[in-house]
């Protein structure tokens, strides 16, 4: 009988320690998400240093939490390490975008083909729902809704490929999508763009939902390649300089892919 309070205290301590671990993990996840969003949005500029002492105050977290979040971003290739000199936001280059695009075309088109072959009624219903949701923001697109559009764009592409069952495919494409979003911000700022992203989404959706695998694959490939092609042309024409400092404004129309 005398041992029970002691055992109860041990269990209570264990429960408190577990709760503390949960809170710590939650704070790391929150800091990671905030940093990732700031990198993608350009508030933390490509190539800029990430000073721990400054950022821990800005994000109101401890140095250990911040380092853990930054380490996760390094695993996502959104941050680079410099040995004992700390961390930097990963730079952006057209060469990297072209490499991302080649890999995305290869993986995503294969996943689309499998999804069309294996997806049933539930897949078609979920795809239609995601298409309807993004269509509502694309007719017409408004700059004030860009962040919401980005979320719905990811969901549309995820729904498109949800008929295939490879978890690793989903993980790889999620990583590529986050990197692609960094570049899409700059494509959005190009003057005089006449790209009709809604028409691209509609073509992909209609071909996929009808089971026309080859046509859907061609439409998806053209959609994925559109952003890097536009950026490459803008760089050649002197309309754009990929930044090491300044952050461009958001654009009047979305550049998906």
Per-residue pLDDT of the chain (257 residues; tens, 9 = 90+): 444 444 444 454 444 345 555 656 788 999 999 999 999 888 999 999 999 999 999 999 999 999 999 999 999 899 998 877 789 999 988 888 899 999 999 999 999 999 999 999 999 999 999 999 999 998 777 777 778 888 999 999 999 999 998 999 999 998 898 888 888 877 776 776 667 889 999 999 999 999 999 999 999 999 999 988 888 888 888 777 776 543 333 333 444 55
Buried b (16+ CB within 10 A) or exposed e, 204-229: bbebbbeeebeebbebbbebbbbbbe
* Residue at 256 is within a domain: no
Predicted confidence at residue 252, as pLDDT, reads 35
Q: What local confidence, expressed as pLDDT, does residue 180 receive? A: 86
Number of structural domains, the chain? 2
Amino acid 30: pLDDT: 93
Does residue 132 sit within a domain? yes
Sign of CA dihedral 197, 148, 176, 168: negative
Q: Is 70 helix (H, G, I), strand (E, B) or coil?
A: helix
Residues 143, 32 share a domain: no
* 73-104 per-residue burial string, b: 16 or more CB within 10 A, e: under 16: beeeebbeeeeeeebbbbebebebbeebbeeb
Does the residue 245 lie in any domain? no
- State how far the Cα of 183 lies from the Cα of 181, in Å rounded to an integer: 5
pLDDT of residue 118: 95
- Residue 255: per-residue pLDDT: 45
65 and 105 housed in the same domain: no
Q: What is the value of pTM for the model shown? A: 0.76
Q: What per-residue confidence (pLDDT) applies to 50?
A: 94
Q: Which domain range does residue 105 map to?
A: 94-236
What's the token pair of residue 161?
């490929």
**Residue from 232, 238, 216, 226 nearest 94 by CA:** 232
Residues 108 and 196 in one domain: yes
């Amino acid at each position: 009988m005398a041992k029970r309070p002691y055992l109860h205290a041990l269990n209570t301590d264990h429960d408190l320690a577990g709760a503390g671990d949960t809170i710590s993990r939650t704070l790391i996840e929150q800091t990671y998400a905030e940093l990732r969003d700031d990198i993608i949005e350009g508030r933390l500029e490509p190539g800029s240093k990430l000073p721990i002492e400054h950022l821990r105050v800005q994000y109101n977290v401890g140095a250990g939490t911040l380092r853990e979040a930054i380490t996760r971003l390094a695993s996502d290739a959104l941050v680079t390490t410099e040995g004992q000199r700390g961390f930097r936001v990963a730079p952006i280059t057209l060469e990297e975008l072209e490499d991302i695009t080649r890999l995305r075309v290869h993986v995503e088109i294969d996943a689309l083909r499998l999804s069309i072959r294996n997806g049933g009624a539930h897949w078609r219903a979920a795809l239609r729902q995601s298409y309807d949701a993004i269509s509502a923001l694309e007719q017409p697109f408004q700059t004030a809704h860009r962040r919401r559009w980005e979320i719905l764009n990811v969901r549309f592409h995820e729904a498109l490929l949800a008929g295939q069952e490879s978890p690793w495919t989903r993980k790889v494409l999620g990583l590529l999508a986050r990197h692609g979003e960094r570049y899409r911000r700059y494509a959005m700022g190009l003057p005089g763009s006449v790209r009709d992203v809604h028409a691209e989404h509609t073509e992909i959706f209609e071909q996929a939902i009808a089971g026309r695998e080859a046509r859907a694959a061609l439409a998806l490939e053209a959609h994925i390649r559109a952003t890097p092609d536009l950026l490459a042309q803008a760089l050649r024409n002197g309309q754009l300089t990929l930044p090491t400092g300044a952050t461009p404004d958001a654009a009047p129309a979305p550049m998906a892919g």
